[in-house]
Amino acid sequence: MSATTGLGYTKVAGSLDPPPGGWVAPSGSNAEWWREDVIVMVDAAESKLAAAGEGHKLRSKDSDDVAEKCNKKLRGGARKTGKSVMRKISEVLKIYTAVEFLMGLDGKGSGLGWHPTFGANICTPEQELVWKGIVAKHPYCKPFRNKSWDLSDVVGRLKPSKAKGDYVIRAASGRMGANRPPSPPPPATTVDDSVSTPRQGTPVDDDFLLEPGERAVSQEDTPAPAPTTPAPVSRKRFSTSTASSTPGPSKRSRTADGLAAISATFSEFTAAYKESAAMFASVLQPPDHSKAALHLVTEKDRAWLKKHGKWRQATKLLKNGDDARHYLNMAELGSSPRKDTLRGELNISDTEDDDE
């Protein structure tokens, strides 16, 4: 199916129940993918991917098992194979990435949003201009100009993620967010009702603050202090001859010392600011998918691509952030979907088994 027109399926039955004549036998040479086939595939593959652990890779035996479960509910076309299942997973995940990208445009200043029925909902000339730029860079977005995708929630269950540390980067979307547990609620404060506390603004009785057996002393019981005569002010002038023999710093030296202190403080602030900026830049800067993808394709697929004369085209393709992110995403599922991504984008047709 073309990347610019695909929804992941070509037909819709409208129900997961068997058709009126029952499930059909395989026929023809091409497999058919109904919307209901994709749902059956996701249901069968989800648990196997979860059991694969951190690697999140579907083994060849597991993909064959998923294909057999799809073949037991066949509505038409040829039998599905393990490789066709992996190709379909690769395709629908790429569509999911495009839809998730469009959903993330809300509130980003692009003038576009996401409607649960009408997709990107392009209505105005200004939105059309923005939309043309998006489709030119993200061709998988094209089907959702004015329609939504009814498999987003289903396919989203297959999206791999690795939540580590305080921050999470999801491979399918490149999004980053906090991965911190919620803060515990503050401890409840209990008040002892047996102790009465006077309210603010209420006169306080002196006896309230006394221990048993003590008596409050009123102002009448306290003798007034005797008046005192202030000491006479001395008008004697001190002679300058009694000044210290050590001269103090001059006005110029004091000014220089102050400027030096300001300069030192500013230098400390600059160093602290640069350190903080570098720390936050490493957290807030989007991940460089292209660099990681080029490193991986060099290590895993260089010989295979050179054999087909596609090495230069592959490196050029993976310099695009979206294609690089999808290539890394498929690599987490295994070597077959990783190569299938390049097969589809570079028009490579071979039937050799994967080397991993």
Tell me if 148 is assigned to some domain: yes
The whole-number pLDDT of residue 340 equals 78
- Assess whether 140 and 51 both reside in one domain: yes
- State how far Cα 297 lies from the chain centre: 25
- Assess whether 89 and 171 both reside in one domain: no
Tell me if 306 is assigned to some domain: yes
Residue 169: enclosing H or E segment and its boundaries?
strand 167-169
- Assess whether 73 and 165 both reside in one domain: no
pLDDT value at 277 more than 70: no
Collect all residues with Cβ–Cβ distance below 8 Å to 89 and sequence separation of at least 6: 41, 45, 58, 158, 333, 337
Tell me if 29 is assigned to some domain: no
Quick check: 158 and 93 in contact, CB under 8 A?
A: yes
Question: For the CA atoms of 129, 133, 134, 139, what is the dihedral angle to 10 degrees?
Answer: 120
Tell me if 316 is assigned to some domain: yes
The whole-number pLDDT of residue 235 equals 57
- Assess whether 271 and 329 both reside in one domain: no
- Assess whether 173 and 89 both reside in one domain: no
The whole-number pLDDT of residue 266 equals 72
pLDDT, the chain, mean: 74
- State how far Cα 222 lies from the chain centre: 73
The whole-number pLDDT of residue 184 equals 52
Tell me if 57 is assigned to some domain: yes
Report d(CA 145, CA 133) in Å as an integer.
12
Tell me if 60 is assigned to some domain: yes
The whole-number pLDDT of residue 143 equals 92
Question: Per-residue pLDDT tens for 7-34?
Answer: 889 999 988 999 998 999 999 889 999 9
What is the average per-residue pLDDT within 52-79? 84
Question: Per-residue pLDDT tens for 156-208?
Answer: 888 765 443 333 333 334 343 444 444 455 555 454 444 444 444 444 444 44
Tell me if 46 is assigned to some domain: yes
Report d(CA 49, CA 68) in Å as an integer.
16
- Assess whether 120 and 39 both reside in one domain: yes
Select the more confidently predicted residue: 107 or 60: 60
The whole-number pLDDT of residue 298 equals 92
Question: Per-residue pLDDT tens for 105-133?
Answer: 876 667 888 898 998 999 999 889 889 98
- Assess whether 273 and 318 both reside in one domain: no
- Assess whether 83 and 124 both reside in one domain: yes
Tell me if 124 is assigned to some domain: yes
- Assess whether 271 and 317 both reside in one domain: no
- Assess whether 89 and 136 both reside in one domain: yes
Region at 211 (left for phi over 0; alpha for psi -120 to 50; beta for the rest): beta
Number of domains in the chain: 3
Question: Per-residue pLDDT tens for 280-332?
Answer: 554 445 567 888 889 998 988 899 899 889 899 899 888 888 888 888 877 87
- Assess whether 49 and 71 both reside in one domain: yes
Give me the domain span that covers residue 115.
35-159
- Assess whether 164 and 120 both reside in one domain: no
The whole-number pLDDT of residue 51 equals 76
